[in-house]
Every structure is written in C-alpha cells, then in structure tokens.
Chain A
Amino acid sequence: MSLRNSYKPGEWINRAKEINFTFEGEAFTAFEGDTISSALWAAGQKVLGRSFKYHRPRGVLSLANHDVNILMTDGTDTNMRADVVEVKDGMTLQAVNTIGGVKKDKNNYIDSISPLLPVGFYYKAFHTPRKLFPFWEHMIRKAAGLGIVNFDYPRILKRKLHTHCDLLIIGAGPSGLTAACKAASAGLQVTLIDENRHLGGSLSYDHGGHKVSAEYGEDLLKKIESLPNITVRVGAYAAGYYPDHFIPIVETGGITKVRAKAVIVASGAFEQPPVFRYNDLPGVMLGSAAQRLIYRYGVKPCHNGIVFTANDYGYRVALDLLAAGANVLAVVDLRAGGNGGLHNLELCKRGVKIYAGHCVYEAVATSDKSKVRGAVICAYDDKNNVALTDNKFTVDCDGIVMSAGWAPAAALLYQAGTAMQFDYDVQQFVPSRLLDGIFAAGKVNGIFELDQRMRDGERAANDALNYLGKLAVNTNAEKHSGGAPSHAYAMVPHPKGKNFVDFDEDIQIKDFENAAKEGFDNIELMKRFTTVGMGPSQGKHSNMNAIRILAKIRGLPVEKIGTTTSRPFFHPTPMGHLGGRGFHPHRLTSLHDWHEAHGAVFTDIGAWKRAAYYPQFGQTKADAIQAEAMAVRKSAGLIDVSSLGKIEVHGPAAAEFLERFFTGKYANQKIGTWRYTLLLDEAGVVVDDGVASRVADDLFYLSIGTANAAMVYREMQRCQQEWRLDIGLVNVTGAFGAINIAGPAAREILSSLTELDLSTEAFPLGHFRETTVANVPTKVIRASFVSDMAYELHSPMRQVPQLWNALMDAGKQKGLRAFGSDTQRLLRLEMGHTIPGIDTDGLTNPYEIGAEWVIKMDKPYFVGQRSLSILSKRPLRKQLVAFTLAANFKGEVPLECNLVIDSGEIAGRVTSISYSKFIDRIIGFAYVAPAKKAVGSSFDIRTDNGLLVAATVVATPFFQLQEA
C-alpha cells in the first residue's frame, strides 16, 4: 500500500516529474527529488538493506546519512547512501552485502548463529589449528565488506579548488541561517554550507504539527537570497578541520578547500536511538527520520504507529505523524513524569494515549521477520533501568518512531582542538573552550529551543564580527531550561538481547558488557574490541550511547569516560575526490627533444626527466649501457648533466660560508680551481657532495647533485638566515645547463671548438676556466667523475643545444656518442666513486665511506662537526668497500640491497653492483664489518634466491683489476 501523501508546502520533490527505476529487479516510480529510500518507502518497500554482520533486514533509521542501513549499488558505483542520494531515471539498483537480494539474502542464517559470533570472535576463534587459518581467512575476507569495487569505474576528473572567505558557516539550519544573515549584513564575505540539498536544516521538517518553524525558515531564506555577499553551497559537507581554519568542502563534483578568517560551526546534532530489543526492524525509525519523510518527501512513515520517546521531542514527532495522516496509537514516554508540555495536551485532546513511565520492551516482527508489526509495552523503572514486564501488553502497529535525544555533531570542533564538557542540563557534551576564530551555535552548542537557536546564531555572528575587528554588540542566548533534550540512559535491558546500539556493526548492549568483563573497559579499548563507531557512520548514531553504557558499567559519570578521537573525514569521501587532477611536476633540460629524437629511454631523477640510455635497434638495456660505457672508455662520450644543481655564492664572506657549510677548506682555495664538497647534516650524516669552483675572491660556483639540489639551496638559505654573513646566494640551476664530455678523445674533440689551452700543463685536473666553446660562453671544469679525461661544460640553458650539436659534429669522426645516466652510474663505479643516496643512506657518516680526507676538523665550525667529534671516538660498525666477484663468475648475480652475510648473520649490504664489460668483471660497493675491509678479504652476499656468492675486497679504481 502506498505511503505517499499529498502535496505539502516546502517539500523537496517535484511531483510534475516522474522517475522510473528498478530495485532488485522490481520496477518503481518516484518523483524528481526523491531519494532512493524515500521513493522505496513511499511504495511500501520496507526491507531496503541487510546489516553488515548478521545480515538482519534493515529499513530507514535516520534518513540523514547518520547510519548505513541502506547501501546500494547501481552497477557502476557502490555503497551509495540511499537515504540521501537522489534517485535518477533509469537507475538499476541492488542492495549491497546480500546474496540473492534483500528479501531472500542467503546469508540471513548468520543472524540465527549470532550467539557464536559475538564481538571479538575474530580474535579468539581462528588462530588454532594454525593450518586452518588460511581457510578461515579466505572465508572471512569473502564475507566481510559491503559493496564490491568496480575496477571499470570510469576515470572522472574531480577538480580540487581553493576558495577564501571572511566567515565560513557550517550548517544552514536556524542557527546557521541567522548567523549568515547577521554577518553578511555587517559586510562580511560569508560562505554558508549545508550537506543537505536545500537550506533550512530542521526548519524544513521539525514542525511539531504547526507552521511556525516553516515560516521562520521562509523568512530566513528570503533574507539569505537578498544578501549578495553570501555564497551558498548545498549538498556540501565540511570534511574536516585543519589548522588555521582550512576546511575541505566535499560536493559531488569535487573538493573545494576553504580558507576562512573565522568559522561558525552550526552543524546541529545527531538524533540518538533508544535501545530496545529488535529496535532495528524495518519500520522502527528515529523521530527526525519520520519528520524528514513527511515534510521533505511527502511520505507517511507508517499507517499505524507508536511513538517511543524519552524526551519532549517525541511529542512533536507524534503531532507531525498526525499531520501526515498516520494513526498514532500511543506515545510511550520512558520518563516517569512524562511531559511534552503543550504538545502533550494537544495529543491528549486528539485522543492519543500517553503512557508515561513506560517503555517499548521489544518490537514484534512479522512472521518472516522482515518488518515490525507490533510493540510490546510495559512499565519502566527509569531510576533503576528496569523494565517491569509483569503487565506488559502488545499493540499492533506498522511503525515505531523513536526519540531519546541527541549527540552534538561536533567532529569539526574536536578536530579544531575545542575543549568539550558534559552539560547535565542538556545531557550532552558542549564546547567549553573554543580556539580563536572558531564559534559554535545551536544544538551543537547545547541550545535547543528554536528561538534560542536563532539567538545563538546571532550571538555567534556577533562574536565572529568582533573577532574580525568589526564592532558588534555582544548578545547571548538563554541556557536551556526544562527537561533535558536527551535522556541520560534510554536503554531497555532484555534477557534475549538483540537491542542494538550500533546499527552499522550489529553491536548490542551485551557486547559492551562482555567486553568490559574481558577487561576492555576503557573507551578506546572498548571501541576497538567491540568496533562501536568504527563502521561507515563512524559512531554518529552510536558513540554517545556507547559512552553512556560504559559509564554505567563502570559506575562513573559520563565525562570521566571521555570520547574517542574524532578524525576527518566527516563522511566517507571518494578516492577520486582526494586524487583530484594530480599534478606531477617535472623538469626538462633544453636537450630533451634531442634525447627523445635519438631514442632515449628516460628516467626520473628528482623532478628531472633524464636520458638513462639510448638503445640502438635490437639492444637490450644492459647491452646499450655497456656499449655506451665502452665508447667512453675507448673514444669519447657526451652526457647531458644539465640537471645538476648550480649555485653561485657571492660576496666577501663567500669562502667563510663554504667553510661553515661543507666539511672541507675553501678559504685558501685558489681562483681557477675547484675542490670537492661534502655536506653533512647536524647529526653528521652524509647528505650530498659536489664541487666548488672558485671564480673570484668573492665568487664560488657550486655544482651539486641533481636529486638534492633544491634541498641544499634551501638549507643554504636557512643557514644564511642564521649566520647573516655578507654573501648573496643565487640558484642558477635552471638558468644554466651542463654537458660532460669524457673519454680518451675528449680533449681533442673539445679543443677543436675552443681557443682555451686544454693541455695538462695549462689546465690540469682540479682546475676551472671560463671561456667560449662553439661561440657559447662556457665554464669548464676539469673533473674526473666518469673518466680521467673529462670536462664538465656549463653554459646558459638556452645555448646548450648549440654547444651539444657542435660537440657531436666535432666528435663524429672519433666515434663520439651520447651516453645516459644509467651508463654514468656504471662509469663512475668503474672509477671507484661513490654517490650519496645510493652508496649512503640516512644514517651513513663520512667515516663509513672512507671520506676522512675531506673532513677538516681543525676548522672552528662546520655543519655536523660536533656530531663527528662524537662519532670519531666510537668504533666503526660498518665500512664501505669496493668488491669484485670471481673472474668469469657464472650464476645468479647479486643485486643492490642484497645482504652481506657473515656466519649466518647480517653484516652489511650491497649498495652498487654491475658487470663492467671494459673490466670484464662484476664490480660493486658494499658495507661490510670493519674487520673485513682489508683488500683481499672475502665475504658472502646472499642473492634474492638465497644463494651465497663469494666477493673479494679490492682497491679502486677497478681498472687495476685489468692490469692484474
């Protein structure tokens, strides 16, 4: 029988537009604006989902995204929250977590064996016998989870945007709307957000059978529309609070990150269910859910209903049920004195029976257990929490609407560091100390009367205005008076249980009692053992009740139990939203097009795309690298090293800066020479290395490693802020490119393009010159990283291609070819040179890599010196050595990071290893125990397959092996 009502003003549906969709193969109609749940409920479909663990039939509980009773898939998307997702024409829907559909779920037998599956059973049941564990693991993994991931889900870009405002107001109920009007009228740029599709919050449904709240709502909305400096975002939730009022807003289309100068949290409260046996049957729902159905979607929650309440709110709900045409058979008030004030009187006048001091002892299910068909009611001893069942009686009904109180939607306040205290007048946590720039208003602030909520919104806006330097009058809302909006303990015990506290996780009262008996009686332990609040709703409808239960078990006041940590996100947020567009910055040298045109295979080094090697037709990577290396050894090779960090240090104190920054000495360095630089951190750990060329008395040109260049420059700036020397630092990494020409023919090739005298006498190793090469202004460094005969050429980035092409032309006859960074690694290995970050790690100190020669401890100060003075007194625990495998080695070749094994114990690891065709040996570096560092010592390396391979320590450079 349809539960659709006739038109109501303010409803969210468009009756002029009909929607057709299917649910588990059955056709349904809806109106535009219906959610999936409201449409199905209107059609009389009550079983809409199955619970996670016990597969119990479930229907509408909150209709507010505070529970996950109803999760659906449309074949493309999954875990769709049917309570709040609009139904669309043509949708084909299935509930998740069933086998065979909601009505005939094959897993519903699990409910009957639920006594065998209490909370914590995972931890106890399956660990023995151990050989069966893989079986159980497979079974549980299959059974666990809700929706099934669709690996063909379309890739939809969800942009992530930034926006700014003076005041962000979270929640557009009466408090939020009032605050927005007040703040905007005073000139602030206001952003007002609400997770619902329309503004108004409870003004759109909490009517209590009258029009007052609707009228307030209309007035406020008109005012909001008239203020151009209010930006409204509906269907938008604040996902979390981050420092300095940074709040991501999540909408269907993506995330907008809002940076506000001040924030008002007017997010309201989550209605909490009273707990009684079978309170999870379809047809049992929260009072506010019933109101939402009535006023937003024009749907009657039930035909004949019982209202079970523990506060005055239930009486308003009863009046709304009557307004919707439902029969209200009784109002059952848990409180001995009942109340409800004027609403009580009105209900009595309309013939509704009020049972004060009574409870719903249990809901009665239909024979197929798919929905509620009655309520067992009995007297209740509120003081001692005892149901007095002697004179219990049953009332037939098709709906139980329940109301016991509220928990503040205070997640963002907690995340913002707000101190909360328990207020016994309202029986909820309220803010006691807010951080600067954050304000709370309305129900989240413990204010419940409608007019006071609006006053509280105005008060919050005034506070925000004052905070932002705009004068405003300080106003206050009145504190709550009368009965508490929330009941202290609305939980009816039942010997047979099935009185649910957390509907996501199927957790009953006895689960808490058992957990406490096992010692999990602290809120954090209780949470993790029972999993209360760990389901998709994250405790919105259950955490407060859990705290109350634990307080009762331990005989402590609620505030002594505390709350668990609230973390973002407020609702589950799609991964696609978090991914956004995805920016992957990368840097290209001015030779990139040349490398690409010549078949380079690229690799990422830091942010740079570097040519790693250039495979000729049919060559494997290994072949290409060996061929390039041989070219360098036999004739000459050219590599683009434009990614090297390049920093100029200017000024009278330039040498002093280098003396402090690096381990070596530079004060006495001659102009026109370069010296090796080694950078440590304050712990004495090797960070980076490079060369410092002295261009003038007051100018050094530094060349540093690619991967660390940005970090080193930042560190230089940081040190300079502290040291305040008379220097200027200029990062020219992007302005200059660099080329290395290396090999026996390098000098000859280069000399054809420059007038600079390249003879050893005029330009020895360790020297630096400025000249022109191929008409390009060039700094030339005579270095020997990959070869004894090599020149590093630095020129303006835009002119590097001209230089490169000229060298290529000049070297053609000599067999000059390009080589890449992978080849460079082999070549430097052959030379016996280590690379920080490859041959060192986050703990390596210079003594472990034999760098004592560059540590000048007699300087007054350098970064890391203090730590080295301590480290130098300690025995070394490992030493980097050069090694080789046996000549003509055959077998599985060890890899980088394979372990060095000594007498069955780990004694070190391989950091670099490669076959060298030029030397015809497998060579590498490894850390070994200091006792094994002597040339000629042997040690074992364990390969990936567990084989032990013998290695021998040798001297570097490895070329000596050839001579041997």
Chain B
Amino acid sequence: MPILRVIDLSAHERYGVKGPQAAKWLASHGVATPKNANAWVLNKGKTLVMRLGTSEFLIEDQTDGKTCEKLASDTKRVVGVYKVPHADASYLLAGSEVLNMLSELCSLDLGESALAENELVMTQLAGISATILRQRMDKETVYRVWCDGTYGVYMQHVLRNIAVELGGSVA
C-alpha cells in the first residue's frame, strides 16, 4: 500500500441544491438521496450524492457521470428548491498514512470505528470548513475532501507539504 496519495479532483462536475423540497426535486430527476442527514450514496457507481445536514445536497459526478449536467439544464425556479452554485476544491486522500495526515488537520475521529461508511462530516480541516467522507474504492479506504474553491490553493499547499513530509505523493 502506498504511504500517502493526494489527488486533486476539483475538476469533477458538481451541483448543489437545498431547501425543504430539494430531496423531492432530486427524486423527480431520478437522483436517489440518502435518508439520513450527513450521509451519502453512490448512484449507479457514477454519481456521489451527499446530504449536507438535513436539506442540502451536493452532487458530484465521478468519471462518466452526467447527472450534474442534467440537473443544471433544469433552470426552472421551484418553490422550496434553492440552487447552490459550487466552485469547490476537492481531493482524494489515500494510503497507509492518511489517518496520520488527517489527525494533524482535523480534530475529529475519522477512523473506521467513528466514521461509518456512508456517513460524512462537515468540520474544519487545516482551519477551514470542509466536508469529509470515507469511502471504499477498489478495496482501498480513501477519504474525500471538499472545501470552498477560493481556499483551494491553500489547501493543496497544506496537503502537499504534509504528504511529502510523510513520504507520500501528490497528483
């Protein structure tokens, strides 16, 4: 297993929506949403659907996903459905030292016993607001991180520095 990998996934397409009718609206577009707050599901293996709190959703297309484009094409304003434009920075962290890295950046317990799969947390990472989840990908445990894109250069710099210190790599 590699020591530590930091991969920049900021270029993935994203779509955000919130409001009392947001879940229903997404369902009407064929997007399955998590039942619980602060949870996530993977639709057809191509689209990550994250429930941020109770009534906000962040959708991210993985490779080959087209959901975000489809949702964005519906520009009709609906009562109780508020579009949340996103320009996030996003990273994938993996490797044997990933929890070592995260233990310096975040005060929460992100280990398997504390952060269940399909749960996410909205917390502080390196002093800025971030959303974090743990995922199994190709039999490997990885961590996904999202933050405001204007902090992207700063976050990348922090992740890169620590990764290199711990013997990892950045892509």
Q: Which residues of A contact B (CB under 8 A)?
A: 157, 159-164, 189, 257, 259, 581, 583-589, 592, 607-608, 648, 650-652, 696, 698-699, 728, 730, 732-736, 796-798
Contact = CB atoms under 8 A, between A and B. Distances in A.
Interface range for B: 20 to 34
B86 to A, nearest CB: 6
Given A581-B104, A696-B77, A728-B19, A587 B150 contact: yes
Nearest to A643: B150
A476 to B, nearest CB: 32
A797 B84 contact: no
25 contacts: A157-B165, A160-B104, A161-B100, A161-B103, A161-B104, A162-B106, A162-B109, A257-B107, A259-B109, A583-B158, A585-B127, A586-B151, A587-B150, A588-B153, A607-B151, A608-B150, A650-B19, A651-B80, A698-B79, A734-B87, A735-B84, A735-B87, A796-B87, A797-B149, A798-B87
Give the residue among A189, A607, A699, A736 with the most B Cβ atoms within 10 A.
A607
A189 B113 CA distance: 11
A728 B103 CA distance: 34
Interface string B88-132: 000000000000100110111101011000000000001110000
B85 A732 contact: yes
Given A585-B126, A650-B19, A734 B150 contact: yes
Interface of B: 18-19, 77, 79-80, 82-87, 100, 103-104, 106-109, 111, 113-114, 126-128, 148-154, 158, 165
A294 B93 CA distance: 51
A797 B127 contact: no
Contacts of A607: 151
Contacts of B108: 162
B82 A587 contact: no
Contacts of A732: 84-85
Nearest to A581: B104
Contacts of A798: 87
A735 B85 contact: yes
A728 B104 contact: no
B97 to A, nearest CB: 12
Contacts, number: 84
B109 A588 contact: no
A589 B150 contact: yes
Give the residue among B85, B109, B151 with the most A Cβ atoms within 10 A.
B85
Nearest to B158: A583
B154 A585 contact: yes
Given A581-B104, A587-B148, A587-B151, A164 B109 contact: yes
Nearest to A159: B104
A587 B154 contact: yes
Given A164-B114, A798-B87, 11 more contacts: A161-B103, A163-B103, A583-B127, A589-B150, A592-B153, A650-B19, A651-B80, A652-B79, A698-B79, A732-B84, A796-B85
A514 B152 CA distance: 64
B85 A588 contact: no
B85 A585 contact: no
A524 to B, nearest CB: 35
Contacts of A162: 103-104, 106-109
Contacts of B77: 696, 699
A97 B100 CA distance: 41
A583 B126 CA distance: 6
Nearest to B86: A735
Contacts of A586: 151, 154
A733 B148 CA distance: 9
Contacts of A796: 85, 87
A728 B18 contact: yes
A734 B128 CA distance: 13
B164 to A, nearest CB: 12
Contacts of A189: 113
Contacts of B107: 162, 257, 259
Contacts of A730: 18, 82-85
Contacts of B87: 734-735, 796-798
Contact of B150 (A160, A163, A259, A797): A797
